[in-house]
Amino acid sequence: MSALLGELKVEVRYLREDNEAQAAKVGELELQKTELDELKEQYQVRLEINSDSKIIPLLNRGMETAQTSDPEQTCKPDINSVLREMSALLAELKAEIRHLQKENEAQAAKVRELELQKTELDKLKEQHQAQAAKVKELELLRAEMDKLKQDSQAQGGELITIKSRANITENQVEALKREAEGSFTAPVRGAYHFEFYVLGYHSHPSAAVLVKNGEHIFMAYEHSTSSHTVSSSNGVTLLLEVGDVVFLRLCEGAWIFDNENRHSTFSGHLLFPM
């Protein structure tokens, strides 16, 4: 677009220089025409004077005038030929002037057309500059949005981490709760092995039942009439589904003793998932 605008400017400058040269030539031709008009008027005056000077001798001399030779008669044809040549030259000059005027009008029309094209190109250039500025603004906005998107993703990752930690904390709390309640919930489907040991005094039986989802699985029981402590234990391997709950239940009328030495325990582990 800039190259085309430069070419148009050069062409307009060339046309203007050519127009100025033709205008100077037209002015020169008009001066020549004026001079020719003045010469023509001078010759016409001289012809009138010569005609007047001829009339008087002819009247005085009568018919003798036709027989004598007049030097003015020899000059008259020369003057007429010069006038004819000047008239022809004047007509030629007028034709050339009309031709130059037409060319000048055509060039003026072309100059106007080029000026209109230049105006249109200037408008297009302004639009291009405005669009370039808008594109730059959009690029800056896009970069800002990308930055905000990255910040949002980073914050989302942090929120996921916090949520995971919260879930872990909740799971730990739930596990501690189940542990405090003495129950176990299967996290995966598989074979689990459980064991428990109970200690009691002779005054009461020592007994506990292993329960799975409310179902009585087996019991460990011991009762002695002696004055010594008694203990009992049992174990089992169970196939548990996800969410199955296993816990110990103290039998009615039975006692279990425990202290910091942990005489009574309940334990289990996953043998293998299925």
Structural domain includes residue 171: no
Same domain, 16 and 136: yes
Structural domain includes residue 169: no
- From 216, 230, 240, select the one nearest 263 (Cα to Cα): 230
Same domain, 188 and 119: no
Same domain, 130 and 219: no
Structural domain includes residue 158: no
Q: Does pLDDT of 151 surpass 80?
A: yes
Same domain, 192 and 105: no
Structural domain includes residue 166: no
Neighbour-count burial of 234, counting CB atoms closer than 10 A to its CB (0-12 exposed, 13-18 middle, 19+ buried): middle
Q: Can you give the CATH number for the domain in which 216 is found? A: 2.60.120.40
Q: What is the mean pLDDT of residues 186-202?
A: 88
Domain count, the chain: 2
Same domain, 192 and 98: no
Q: Which of 105, 123, 140 is the last residue of a domain?
A: 140
Same domain, 108 and 197: no
Identify the pLDDT of residue 176: 46
How far is 229 from 249, CA to CA, in rounded Å? Answer: 20
Q: Which of 85, 112, 140 is the last residue of a domain?
A: 140
Q: What is the DSSP string of 125-151?
A: HHHHHHHHHHHHHHHHHHHHHHHHHHH
What residues make up the domain containing 237?
Answer: 184-273
Structural domain includes residue 159: no
Same domain, 99 and 216: no
Q: What is the mean pLDDT of residues 183-198?
A: 90
Max mean pLDDT among 42-46, 59-63, 214-218, 258-262 falls in: 214-218
How far is 274 from 258, CA to CA, in rounded Å? Answer: 36
Q: Which three-class secondary structure string do you get for 39-91?
A: HHHHHHHHHHHHHHHHHHHHHHHCCHHHHCCCHHHHHHHHHHHHHHHHHHHHH
Identify the pLDDT of residue 192: 94
Strand 245-250 relative to strand 206-212: parallel, antiparallel, unpaired?
A: antiparallel
5-9, 52-56, 101-105, 153-157: range with lowest mean pLDDT? 52-56
Same domain, 43 and 104: yes
Structural domain includes residue 179: no
Structural domain includes residue 168: no
Q: Which of 80, 106, 140 is the last residue of a domain?
A: 140
Same domain, 28 and 125: yes
Same domain, 11 and 135: yes
Q: What is the mean pLDDT of residues 152-161?
A: 76
Structural domain includes residue 172: no
Pairwise pLDDT comparison (72 vs 267), residue with the higher score: 267
How far is 205 from 116, CA to CA, in rounded Å? Answer: 116
Same domain, 51 and 109: yes
Same domain, 7 and 136: yes
3-12, 56-65, 82-91, 206-215: range with lowest mean pLDDT? 56-65
Neighbour-count burial of 173, counting CB atoms closer than 10 A to its CB (0-12 exposed, 13-18 middle, 19+ buried): exposed
